[in-house]
Amino acid sequence: MRRLAFGSARCERLVNPLMREWIHAMLYDSRDGYFAKEAPVAPLSSAIDFNTLAGREEYLERVASEYRILGTKWLTPSEIFSPWFGVAFASHIRRTGVRRIMEIGSGSGTLAMDIITHLKASGYGSEFSFISIEISEALAETQRRRLREAGHGDVYVSRVADATKDDTWIGDGDAQVPTLILGMEVLDNLPHDKVVQVDGVWHQTRVAVDGGAVREVLEPLTDDALICTALDAYESIQGERTRDSVLKWVFEMTGTPDPVWLPTGAQSLLNAIRHVPNHELLLADFDFLPNVVIAGENAPIVSSTVDGKAVDRGELLGGTPFGSVDVFFPTDFRLLSAMYRSTQPTGKVCVEKAGSFLQGALPEGEHARIRCRDGTAPLLEDYENTSFARFSTL
């Protein structure tokens, strides 16, 4: 490895890295990465009491007011719908009976805090554990502090580790214990590789840095295991799906094939979780992103936050200081399911829209408390472009 300079930032990267390695550095480099800086997510100043709101307009204004306070920080569904998001998961945990919960990328720790609070309040007892796997030291410290202040230090631990790495899970002495693994909006920030067909042959993308210039370089597909495995899964589902008609039209008119962004970071995560043989993996993320500017199937939004809104910068390489922007992708859940089956051939797969999962998970007696006075229920009705995947070997 060598040290490469990019603008004012300097970070360790492989020479001519694959696209996923470049994105990983942009997001997770220990010094210059987006998540290495000040924690980009934050909790609400106070929980939203939906019963006091007239309806959707007042709800949206309340969320907008929080963003005006937070500035450039994100609010996730776990934050906006606290504590009800956590109540739904706590209810799901009670039904499954697992006593070991692990969360990948716990953000500010709000979901963990809400789940533990409601498990304890429901009589689940203290004979369970909750472990966060967090790649950002800044976020991990926030999680530890908030959970300790909430009185949950007896069951909660936050580890600084990369969930996509085998050694994060191999060294876990409780790997055989039935475990619920949560990943809320984790998939969207996992690195992807960019592949494209040239004269019928798949090519992969590397990033070349020449002085201050950064450019993409195509090369014929090598034997990179992550790219090959994810590409095999991608090709296996092509007979089951219809590609976007606009993309077909572009290809027919120009003869230029559309790039495909392969979720090789997700493939790495699924590979690593094989080391927890008795698991339910519960993942929620965006199944569609609107107004994406970057070309390609499953292409990302490269954005910064302005007044609580994601502003797409329109390019991945250059244009902004290294590590200053978020890079997030939509999830093709059919592809993700095929990738999971490649690692767990006998595992069970279930994908449903967010509203459907949350409605089924939330205890019946709590439904009235998530509604505004006009009957709208943002918890069930918002984030229509989000799905939940349940992958299980239990």
Work out the mean pLDDT of the chain and round it to a whole number.
88
More confident residue, 243 or 165: 165
pLDDT for residue 69: 81
In this predicted model, what pLDDT tens digit does every residue of 121-132 receive, in sequence order?
Answer: 998 877 899 999
Give domain limits for the chain.
2-392
In this predicted model, what pLDDT tens digit does every residue of 107-149 receive, in sequence order?
Answer: 999 999 999 999 999 988 778 999 999 988 888 999 999 999 9
In this predicted model, what pLDDT tens digit does every residue of 57-72 receive, in sequence order?
Answer: 999 999 999 888 877 6
Q: What is the pTM of this model?
A: 0.90
CA distances 243 to 207, 298, 388, Å, are 27, 11, 22
Q: Please provide the CATH number assigned to the domain covering 2-392.
A: 3.40.50.12710
In this predicted model, what pLDDT tens digit does every residue of 250-291 receive, in sequence order?
Answer: 445 445 568 999 999 999 999 999 999 999 999 999 999 988
pLDDT for residue 14: 54
DSSP bridge pairs for 132: 103, 158
With bands split at pLDDT 50, 70 and 90, how would you rate the model's confidence at 9? very low
In this predicted model, what pLDDT tens digit does every residue of 159-179 receive, in sequence order?
Answer: 999 999 999 999 777 888 999
From the list 7, 41, 9, 38, the residue with the least C-alpha distance to 25 is 9
The pLDDT of residue 54 is above 80: yes
Q: Which residue has the tokens 């339910």?
A: 280
pLDDT for residue 251: 47
pLDDT for residue 306: 61
With bands split at pLDDT 50, 70 and 90, how would you rate the model's confidence at 152? very high
53 in Cβ contact with 373 (< 8 Å): yes
Side chain identity, residue 202: W
pLDDT for residue 288: 95
With bands split at pLDDT 50, 70 and 90, how would you rate the model's confidence at 321? confident
Q: How many helices (H) and strands (E) does the chain have?
A: 13, 16
Is the bond preceding 363 in cis, omega lying within 30 degrees of 0?
no
Cα separation, 307 vs 287, whole angstroms: 24
With bands split at pLDDT 50, 70 and 90, how would you rate the model's confidence at 5? very low
Q: How far is CA 145 from the centre of its chain?
A: 23
The whole-number average pLDDT for the span 75-89 is 94
DSSP string, 331-365: --HHHHHHHHHHH-TT-EEEEEEHHHHHHHHS-GG
Residue 267's φ and ψ, nearest 5 degrees, are -60, -40
In this predicted model, what pLDDT tens digit does every residue of 323-363 receive, in sequence order?
Answer: 788 899 999 999 999 999 999 999 999 999 999 999 999 99
DSSP bridge pairs for 202: 197
The pLDDT of residue 313 is above 90: no
pLDDT for residue 33: 84
Cα separation, 287 vs 5, whole angstroms: 35
pLDDT for residue 7: 37
SS3 at position 208: strand
